[in-house]
Amino acid sequence: MAQSSKITFFNLKELKDLKTAYETRGLSAVVPLIQKKINDLTNTELHIAVMGETGSGKSTFINAVRGLQTSDEGAAKTGPTETTMEPTSYPHPNLLNVCFWDLPGIGTPEFQSAKYVKEMNFDKYDFFIILSDCRFRENDARLAKEIEKLGKKFYFIRSKIDNDLESFHKQNIPLDKDKELDKIRNYCVSSLEKQGMLTPVFLISNFEMNEFDFPKLNDAIQSNLDDIKKHVFLLSLPNIALKIIEEKRKNLKDRIWMLATLSGAIGAVPIPGLSFVCDIGILVTAIIDFRKYLGLDDVSLQRLANTTGKPVSQLKAVVKTPLVGEINEQFVKRLLAGTTYFTISAIELSLDFIPVIGSIFGAGSSFLMTYKILHGALDDLTGNAKRVVQAAFDSDFH
Ligand SMILES: Nc1nc2c(ncn2[C@@H]2O[C@H](COP(=O)(O)OP(=O)(O)OP(=O)(O)O)[C@@H](O)[C@H]2O)c(=O)[nH]1
Ligand SMILES: [Mg+2]
């Protein structure tokens, strides 16, 4: 199937290893290879450093990208008296392997970039965000050059863009929004150019993360990450736009054949009384994970309600799936028994795209059941997550 032929997450060598393992040692030899990949996709760490002058909005940004308000548990303290003096880590509330680092301000004139790089342990970060709420200065450019020397990526963000636009309203000045944004963007880019740094600048408001250049920033970050880290980063994004939900669906879909293969392998080498339990375990865990990544668990819904100022009951009212209740063995057994609950299209049932092993599993196998149920569950959860986003933002934007 042309549409499904791309196997993501495995490079050519890994696919060859899978094939060889299967051909020489059988199905059970494939299990650890797939298990390792799923483990990487779930647990690979991502460390993101956030820098900029005092008051530029670092802590607020770190909260916003994690879908948190300052008042939420685990949020970074914000405001004029909360200056960060040493690197502070802020784990993502749903993905503990994703960590944002709030680094101390770089405002002093005697700032020494090389010393800062060493003291802040730049080696450990995957990429860097440099924020400013006005133009960028010499210190920002010097830092970026140090980051470049390490072969790492940085992204310049001009924050508080809502303030700039608001000032037009306050003074009753007519506003051509795109023109004004271009002006600010160009101004920031040229302030960096003057420091010998040719690089894009992304305009954002920490209070309206689904607006302005936030989508472009995400695209830029993703384009510079390897497949595994890109997957982890994408899953960490707040569920604030239909595009993000849709990208998460595509990424999670690419995990399903692996989970089904594990389930199928366990089913194909039955341990009396155990195999069924193992298969159920895979399904229970996957459904709970999918739900969390798509922001449909109770805590995530509450957070989105806090962010948007909507009562959580209004968001829950558009959620219409049994998958938001308790997911346990009994629940999954009921799903398996009710074969009509989830349907699957012919295209998705054509398993010829699955490397090596897809074709060996017949109808009714553990592989196929897992494959069907997880496809159905993912589509069901995605539809609900999209309705939640629409209800939260009262619109059907992007
Ligand atoms: N309007 C607007 N205000 C913002 C934005 N981001 C942050 N702020 C406000 O700016 C002030 C400073 O934000 P912080 O996030 O505490 O700044 P910081 O960079 O962490 O500051 P230090 O920790 O002192 O270095 C707070 O009052 C925030 O509410 C934004 O995008 N728009
Ligand atoms: Mg701070």
Span from the CA of 61 to the centroid of ligand 1 (angstroms): 8
Whether 70 lines ligand 1, by a CB cut-off of 6 Å, is: no
Distances in Å between the Cα of 221 and the Cα atoms of 3, 202, 353, 365 are 26, 11, 29, 40
Last residue of one domain, picked from the residues 193, 208, 236 = 236
Q: Is 264 part of a structural domain of the chain?
A: yes
Angle between helices 12-25 and 27-43 (to 10 degrees): 150
DSSP code, position 154: E
State the pLDDT at residue 16. Answer: 87
Indicate the pTM of the whole model: 0.91
**Of 85 and 348, more confident:** 85
Asked if the model's pLDDT at residue 341 lies above 70, the reply is no
Q: In angstroms, rounded to a whole number, what is the distance separating the alpha carbons of residues 238 and 94?
A: 10
Span from the CA of 77 to the centroid of ligand 1 (angstroms): 10
**Of 275 and 233, more confident:** 233
Asked if the model's pLDDT at residue 351 lies above 50, the reply is yes
Q: Is 337 helix (H, G, I), strand (E, B) or coil?
A: helix
Residue 305 makes CB contacts below 8 A (sequence gap 6+) with 311, 312, 314, 315, 392
Number of structural domains in the chain: 2
Whether 205 lines ligand 1, by a CB cut-off of 6 Å, is: yes
For 81-109, what is the mean pLDDT? 84
In this structure, are 31 and 108 located in the same domain?
no
Span from the CA of 90 to the centroid of ligand 1 (angstroms): 16
In this structure, are 210 and 356 located in the same domain?
no
Q: In angstroms, rounded to a whole number, what is the distance separating the alpha carbons of residues 366 and 69?
A: 43
State the pLDDT at residue 227. Answer: 93
**Which atom of ligand 1 lies at the shortest distance from residue 208's CA?**
31
**Of 293 and 263, more confident:** 293
**How confident is residue 394, by pLDDT bands cut at 50, 70 and 90?**
confident
Last residue of one domain, picked from the residues 169, 202, 236 = 236
Q: In angstroms, rounded to a whole number, what is the distance separating the alpha carbons of residues 124 and 84?
A: 19
Task: Tell me phi and psi for residue 250, to 5 degrees.
Answer: -60, -45
Asked if the model's pLDDT at residue 302 lies above 60, the reply is yes
Span from the CA of 151 to the centroid of ligand 2 (angstroms): 27
**In contact, 128 and 101? CB cutoff 8 Å:** no
Q: In angstroms, rounded to a whole number, what is the distance separating the alpha carbons of residues 87 and 85?
A: 7
**In contact, 336 and 369? CB cutoff 8 Å:** yes
Q: Whose CA is nearest to atom 16 of ligand 1?
A: 78
- Ligand index nearest the alpha carbon of residue 65: 1
**How confident is residue 105, by pLDDT bands cut at 50, 70 and 90?**
confident
Q: Whose CA is nearest to atom 24 of ligand 1?
A: 83
State the pLDDT at residue 356. Answer: 55
Asked if the model's pLDDT at residue 396 lies above 50, the reply is no
Q: In angstroms, rounded to a whole number, what is the distance separating the alpha carbons of residues 47 and 263?
A: 32
Q: In angstroms, rounded to a whole number, what is the distance separating the alpha carbons of residues 265 and 275?
A: 9
- Ligand index nearest the alpha carbon of residue 160: 1
State the pLDDT at residue 195. Answer: 92
Which residue out of 59, 163, 168 has the highest number of ligand 1 atoms within 8 Å of its CB and is therefore the one to mutate? Answer: 59
State the pLDDT at residue 281. Answer: 87
In this structure, are 277 and 230 located in the same domain?
no
In this structure, are 230 and 249 located in the same domain?
no
Residue-wise pLDDT for 242-252, tens only, equals 999 999 999 99
Closest CA to 160 of 241, 57, 290: 57
For 97-118, what is the mean pLDDT? 83
In this structure, are 255 and 165 located in the same domain?
no
Q: Is 94 part of a structural domain of the chain?
A: yes
Q: Is 195 part of a structural domain of the chain?
A: yes
Q: Is 386 part of a structural domain of the chain?
A: yes
State the pLDDT at residue 25. Answer: 87
State the pLDDT at residue 53. Answer: 87
State the pLDDT at residue 114. Answer: 82
> Which tokens belong to 387?
């309705």
**In contact, 312 and 302? CB cutoff 8 Å:** yes
What are the strands, taking DSSP E only, across 26-77? 46-52
Which residue out of 78, 130, 133 has the highest number of ligand 1 atoms within 8 Å of its CB and is therefore the one to mutate? Answer: 78
Whether 63 lines ligand 1, by a CB cut-off of 6 Å, is: no
In this structure, are 8 and 142 located in the same domain?
no
Whether 55 lines ligand 1, by a CB cut-off of 6 Å, is: yes
For 287-291, what is the mean pLDDT? 96
**Which atom of ligand 1 lies at the shortest distance from residue 166's CA?**
1
> Which tokens belong to 92?
């993502």
Which residue out of 53, 60, 84 has the highest number of ligand 1 atoms within 8 Å of its CB and is therefore the one to mutate? Answer: 60
In this structure, are 210 and 256 located in the same domain?
no
The per-residue DSSP string of 215-248 comes to HHHHHHHHHTS-HHHHHHHHHHS-S-SHHHHHHH
In this structure, are 208 and 244 located in the same domain?
no
**In contact, 4 and 371? CB cutoff 8 Å:** no
Last residue of one domain, picked from the residues 199, 216, 236 = 236
Name the average pLDDT for the chain: 86
**Which atom of ligand 1 lies at the shortest distance from residue 84's CA?**
23
**Dihedral in degrees, nearest 10, Cα atoms 248, 251, 253, 259:** -120
Q: Is 152 part of a structural domain of the chain?
A: yes
Span from the CA of 82 to the centroid of ligand 2 (angstroms): 6
Question: What is the domain extent for residue 257?
Answer: 2-42+239-393
Specify the pairing of strand 98-102 against strand 88-91. Answer: antiparallel
Q: Is 248 part of a structural domain of the chain?
A: yes
Q: In angstroms, rounded to a whole number, what is the distance separating the alpha carbons of residues 245 and 249?
A: 6
**How confident is residue 229, by pLDDT bands cut at 50, 70 and 90?**
very high
Q: Is 398 part of a structural domain of the chain?
A: no
CATH code, domain with 147? 3.40.50.300
Which residue out of 70, 167, 169, 206 has the highest number of ligand 1 atoms within 8 Å of its CB and is therefore the one to mutate? Answer: 206
In this structure, are 73 and 134 located in the same domain?
yes
**Of 363 and 240, more confident:** 240
State the pLDDT at residue 201. Answer: 98
Task: Tell me phi and psi for residue 202, to 5 degrees.
Answer: -105, 130
State the pLDDT at residue 123. Answer: 94
**Dihedral in degrees, nearest 10, Cα atoms 363, 364, 368, 371:** 140
The per-residue DSSP string of 243-291 comes to HHHHHHHHHHHHHHHHHHHHHHHHHHS--TTTHHHHHHHHHHHHHHHHH
In this structure, are 108 and 12 located in the same domain?
no
**How confident is residue 347, by pLDDT bands cut at 50, 70 and 90?**
very low
> Which tokens belong to 229?
């880290």
Least confident of 112-126, 155-169, 200-214, 333-347: 333-347
**Of 312 and 363, more confident:** 312
In this structure, are 243 and 359 located in the same domain?
yes
Residue-wise pLDDT for 49-82, tens only, equals 999 988 899 999 999 999 999 888 889 888 776 5
Asked if the model's pLDDT at residue 327 lies above 90, the reply is yes
Q: Is 206 part of a structural domain of the chain?
A: yes
In this structure, are 219 and 282 located in the same domain?
no
Whether 59 lines ligand 1, by a CB cut-off of 6 Å, is: yes
Closest CA to 375 of 353, 343, 398, 347: 343
**How confident is residue 202, by pLDDT bands cut at 50, 70 and 90?**
very high
- Ligand index nearest the alpha carbon of residue 214: 1
Closest CA to 111 of 198, 52, 190: 52
The per-residue DSSP string of 99-146 comes to EEEEPPP---TT--HHHHHHHTTGGG-SEEEEEESS---HHHHHHHHH
